[in-house]
Structures are given as C-alpha cells and as structure tokens.
Amino acid sequence: MKKLISIILGFILLQACHTEENYTIVPTVIPLQIPSNFPEIEYNLENNPLTEEGVALGKKLFYEGRLASDGIISCGFCHEQASAFTHHGHTISHGIDGNFGFRNAQPIQNLAFFSEFTWDGAAIHLDLQPIIPITSDFEMGETIPSVIQKLNSYPEYRILFENAFEDAEATTERLLKALSQFMVTMISGNAKYDKVIRREGNVNFTNLENKGFVIFKNKCASCHSGALFTDKSYRNNGIPFNKKFPEEEGRKRVSGFEDDFYKFRVPSLRNTEMTFPYMHDGRFGTLEDVLDFYTDGMSENGGKIDPLLTKQDGSLGIDLSQEDKIALIAFLKTLTDNTFLNDKRFAEF
C-alpha cells in the first residue's frame, strides 16, 4: 500500500514538475520604447508581441549566414550597423556568388513605423519582407523550406525557438516573426535633431544648422516630412533614367501604372550622413552630389517629374545657393544618431 501511495505521489510530482517545466519557458514580453517626437507605430504588436527571447532569436537569425545557400551571406552582410544597416561602399548590392541586384540596400531603421517596404513598396508587411532576400538569386539564393529544414537540424536553434515560441519547431511563421521582432526594436530617434526638438538638456542647433533647418522645411520637407523624414509616398524626384538597369521601372513594377514609372519611396533621411551612396541605385557618393543633382541634374527622361520640383524661373529643380547647400548639409548631419549606430543591442558581436 505504502509503495502504491509513493508511486502515485511520485507520479503526481512528476506531472507537477512537467507542468512547471512548461511554464518556465514562457517568453518575457518587453515594451517598445517609442521616442516622444515620433508617430504611432504601424506594426501590429498584438499579432507578434516583442519578447526578450524572440528579439534575441531574431538578432541571431539576422546575422546567420546559414539562411543563405552559401552559408555566408546573412542579412547583416548587406545591412551593416556602422552605416545605419546599409551596404557600405556598394552602389548596388551583391549577394550570393557575387551576383548583383539593381538596387542600393536600404537602411534598417524605424521600420515599425512603416507598412510598405523596399524602394517600390513590393513588400506590404514587415513579416513578409525577408522572403525576398532569402529567395532572391542576387541576395541569399535559398528556399524557405530548405532554411526551415536547416534551422530544425541545429540543436542550438531548437533551444532558441523553444525559448521564444511554444515549442522547439522552427516554422516559416516563427522565422519571420522573430526577424520582425528584432527589426521592430531598431529605432533611431536619438540624433542631435531629436534632442533639439524634444528640448533635451541644453542641446541647440548652431547658426549654420539652424539656417539649414529653415531651408529644409521650405524646400525638402514637402516630401521628406515629419519625424521619419518621409511622407512614405512614391515620387519621381527627377532622377535621370539609368541605362545600366533597363529593367528598373520604380513603383510601376508593383502597380503596373504608367504614371508610377520611376517613382520611388521617398527615403527617410535619418542617419543620411552614413547611408551613402545615395538614391535607389546608389549613383551619388556624397550629399554634395545629391544637392548638385537637386539644383542642376534633373531630367525628364526618367518619367514625369513631381510638380513640386520646379524652380522659380519654371525650369526643373530646386533653387539653392552654394551657401544654402553648405547649411543644408550641416543640418542633415544633425540626423546622425550615434546611439543607434553603436547600440550593442543591434551589434553582431
């Protein structure tokens, strides 16, 4: 009888331990810190709550070369922190086997505030975006089923998936959700500009920066607007057609509308000092080149130019003097966020 009781007790205890074990892996939900001068986020956290374990898994996946067919090209290969997660030194990005795409890598920053991604808006959810690079022949050259199979075969990932989700199984949904969780936390909102706007401490613009800010508000902020420095629309800023990439049609690739030919999503200018080269194809190496283009470089051979871009004399472009340009660049540099560029939470090592 005693033996029976102890067996029953033992069994109950075992069950208790088992349940407790299940509870110990409930992931820790963490809040998202949104700068006070920023808008509401667009990413729906209810469908994918941020957790410490999910973000950690997302970070590991972001820097994981094994997501690519060659075992080398990770997301971080083209999205490097020191250049606000762009592909430093590359006009257009190359990936697997040195294959080249036809676009300049965009920064990974403040993506929680967007609902359409890439230069032409081809991805309409952050969770779906990574499928493009993983499966593209120019980027990681893999297939999603093969990535999932690989992840499930590594014991270290089984533990990480179990910590972040209900069990150890790597699935497409969990892979994408973990990557999104990491990218959602990548908020850049601590530049000198933000400190001035939020009236933090004793931070002020210099006279030159202030002059640049005024010019910016008058001549640039109609498109590069708000705290994100983009109105998120697709526009044709007069950039001449690049004959090297005849397949490039801008937004028209997605919408099919002739009117959208060579329109691109207005890029955010946060950390712009670090995200060179510039434009969808990385054709300009410096901010000086960009401003010379705005005053003198526009051409209608890349489709219909945005009506905002007409000078006082009726010709194409934006009126800016040499001094205006110097002041504008000084202002643009106040958007460099060294906290973000050096944040250990986003660093590979």
Where do contacts with ligand HEC occur on this chain (CB under 6 A)? Answer: 67, 73, 75, 77-79, 93, 95, 101, 103, 105-106, 108, 111, 117-119, 129-130, 133-134, 139-140, 179, 219-220, 222-224, 235, 237, 239, 264, 266-267, 269, 272, 275, 278-280, 287, 290, 294, 306, 308-309, 318, 328
Of 129 and 188, the one with the shorter C-beta distance to ligand HEC is: 129
State the alpha helices, DSSP H only, in the chain.
Answer: 2-24, 52-62, 75-78, 131-135, 144-153, 155-164, 172-184, 192-197, 207-219, 252-255, 287-296, 322-333, 338-341
| Residue 198 C-beta: closest distance to ligand HEC, Å | 22
| Residue 90 C-beta: closest distance to ligand HEC, Å | 8
- Report d(CA 306, CA 237) in Å as an integer: 6
CA angle 166, 168, 172 (to 5 degrees): 85
| Residue 226 C-beta: closest distance to ligand HEC, Å | 14
Of 165 and 305, the one with the shorter C-beta distance to ligand HEC is: 305
| Residue 339 C-beta: closest distance to ligand HEC, Å | 20
Rg (C-alpha) for the chain, rounded Å, is 24
| Residue 169 C-beta: closest distance to ligand HEC, Å | 20
With 0-12 CB in 10 A as exposed, 13-18 as middle and 19+ as buried, what is 14?
A: exposed
- Report d(CA 11, CA 229) in Å as an integer: 62
Of 27 and 101, the one with the shorter C-beta distance to ligand HEC is: 101
- Report d(CA 6, CA 252) in Å as an integer: 73
Of 224 and 333, the one with the shorter C-beta distance to ligand HEC is: 224
- Beta-strand relationship, 264-265 and 234-235: antiparallel
Contacts 24+ apart (CB under 8 A), 157-163: 160/53, 160/56, 160/57, 160/60, 161/57, 162/25, 163/25, 163/27, 163/53, 163/56, 163/57
Of 166 and 259, the one with the shorter C-beta distance to ligand HEC is: 259
| Residue 267 C-beta: closest distance to ligand HEC, Å | 4
Of 163 and 291, the one with the shorter C-beta distance to ligand HEC is: 291
Of 129 and 334, the one with the shorter C-beta distance to ligand HEC is: 129
| Residue 191 C-beta: closest distance to ligand HEC, Å | 15
